[in-house]
Amino acid sequence: MKKRVVLVNPPNEKTILRDMYSSTISKGLYNWPCTDLLVISGVLKDEFDVTFLDANTLRMSLGETLERIAVIDPLAVVCAIGNSVKNDDYDFIRRLRERIQSITICGTGGILFHNAENEMRALPEIDACLLNFTSNDIVKFLKGEFSGMNNIVYRHNGEIVHAAVETNPNGFSYPVPLHEQLPLHRYRLSHGKAKPLTSVLTSYGCPATCRFCVAGKISYSYRSPDNIIEELDSIHRIGVKEVFFRDNAFCSSRNQGNELLDRMIERQYGFSWIADVRAVTLDSETVWKMKRSGCHALHIGVESGSPEILRKYNKGATLDHIRSAFALCKENGIKTVGYFIIGLPGEKTEDVMKTIDLSIELDCDYASFNIALPIVGTTLWEESVKMGWIDNNTDTIYDGSLNAQINSGDISNEEISALRDEAYKRFYLRPSYFLKKITGIRNIYQFKMLVLEFINMIRNKLSV
Ligand code: SF4
């Protein structure tokens, strides 16, 4: 009989998005399956009897979650850890250890990726931290085979053993994850088109090296198209209607991306999909294939309307790339979500104004204005510590819902918050924008989401 393993997205009063080495408290109405745990479910399922428990989405209390795990009586629990709720997640792990002392507890998440040894010292209840969650080192570790592991930090004979993280440049693959165990009807994207929704990974890391981003520090590798198609066939069979390709930069490998899109077109799955892409990825052929294969919205990192700021932060895209990407999406009927950053060190108020102007000029369908954050592990974090703009304290919680936290002496933190609010007001409170939204509604689900988002925006005084 296979030994049991439980994968847990820990309980919390708020909706927490914990995956891909970042985490945030959901400010809008969006929520998607934790990608790390989904991938791990595939990696583990041939060797172990896996139960995937998304306690956060199921609104389970801490007590209920512990009870459920205790009833399953597993060999091990793999827990998603979010930087933005690190204290709550560590408390969950401590309570889990108290409840089932013999259990093996592993964690995955950004803070563990960047600072595993220190975090393990601070949290003696945890036995291992996964570095590259696409690797099968977790299988070896749980089977007690300790040789040849490079993607996990673990305790062994009282020592913390840490090997360098490795990415396979020749690609990776894993068995189909356990989507069917998740409450797929409960996930949603604010600009989503349909439910049930799930997330799928087609690549790991990012070829770009943006200085403010965690993914910029992770070498890029991609998953074999055959392996992705196997998973897409499977989720199609269980009735998934929308896919969130959760890659940091979908289709960044042109050959692999185009092969995947061709095969999706051939198969005519009928589900719609959304992805995060780099502007430089979007040429006319690729965008056309994206649309034909079911894409209805793309998230594009614009960051700034200032060419100097784009260069300074290694964005790897110019304003021309960005304008062309948005124009191609519009031509092909793909909705766009533009991501912008406000308050990067070195920015002046005029730069932020250029950013807000650009968001309106690009005519994105949605705009997300985020305050610059020194996420642990990024070059921006390293620079902020070195320059004394923040404390060298990895316990500090950085979350986009909080106010500015970098004291670089450029724009004051109060002004950064005010500029973010102004950006939202200027972008969303335009009659032309409102009209576009109303006329763009195609079904009752989109109408419901629009109403809910509007209520949520008002509740958050437009700071969404
Ligand atoms: S392109 Fe996007 S995912 Fe890649 S490093 Fe830059 S911000 Fe991060």
Judged against a pLDDT cut of 80, whether residue 13 lies above it is answered with yes
- Tell me if the domain spanning 3-162 has CATH number 3.40.50.280: yes
Of residues 166 and 202, which shows the higher confidence score? 202
Tokens of 391: 């404390």
Judged against a pLDDT cut of 70, whether residue 327 lies above it is answered with yes
- The 8-class DSSP code of residue 2 comes to P
Query: Which residues, 6 or more positions from 350, have their beta carbon under 8 angstroms from its beta carbon?
Result: none
Give 165-207 as a 3 state SS string.
CCCCCCCECCCCCCHHHCCHHHCECCCCCCCCEEEECCEECCC
Mutate to test the pocket of ligand 1, among 20, 22, 213 (most ligand atoms within 8 A of CB): 213
The pLDDT tens digits of the residues spanning 30-41 come to 899 999 999 999
Residues at CB less than 6 angstroms from ligand 1: 206, 208, 210, 213, 215-216, 248-249, 278, 301
The domain limits of the chain are: 3-162, 189-459
Rounded mean pLDDT of 217-231?
94
CA–CA–CA angle 107, 113, 119 (5° rounding): 65
Closest CA to 193 of 265, 268, 293, 296: 296
Report CA-CA distances (Å) from 171 to 175, 245, 424, 447. Answer: 14, 17, 40, 40
Q: pTM score, two decimals?
A: 0.93
Tokens of 157: 């004979």
- Position 464 scores a pLDDT of 38
Which residue has its alpha carbon closest to ligand 1 atom 1?
208
Q: How confident is the model at residue 331 (pLDDT cuts 50, 70, 90)?
A: very high
- Position 460 scores a pLDDT of 55
Mean model confidence pLDDT for the chain: 92
Identify the weakest region by mean pLDDT among 93-97, 238-242, 361-365, 446-450: 446-450
- Position 463 scores a pLDDT of 42
Rg (CA), the chain: 22
Q: Which residue in this structure is represented by tokens 């393990």?
A: 120
Rounded mean pLDDT of 127-151?
92
Rounded mean pLDDT of 13-32?
88
Judged against a pLDDT cut of 70, whether residue 423 lies above it is answered with yes
- Position 84 scores a pLDDT of 86
- Position 398 scores a pLDDT of 67
- Tell me if the domain spanning 189-459 has CATH number 3.40.1280.10: no
Of residues 346 and 451, which shows the higher confidence score? 346
Distance CA 213, CA 378 (A): 6
Tokens of 187: 């996930």
Query: 205 with 221: CB under 8 angstroms?
Result: yes
Of residues 450 and 122, which shows the higher confidence score? 122
Q: How confident is the model at residue 392 (pLDDT cuts 50, 70, 90)?
A: confident
Query: 80 with 33: CB under 8 angstroms?
Result: no
Query: 354 with 326: CB under 8 angstroms?
Result: no
CA of 220 to the centre of ligand 1 (A): 11
Rounded mean pLDDT of 233-247?
98
Query: Which residues, 6 or more positions from 176, have their beta carbon under 8 angstroms from its beta carbon?
Result: 42, 230, 231, 234
CA of 317 to the centre of ligand 1 (A): 10
Rounded mean pLDDT of 270-274?
97
What do you get for the CA distance between the two ends of the chain, in Å? 48
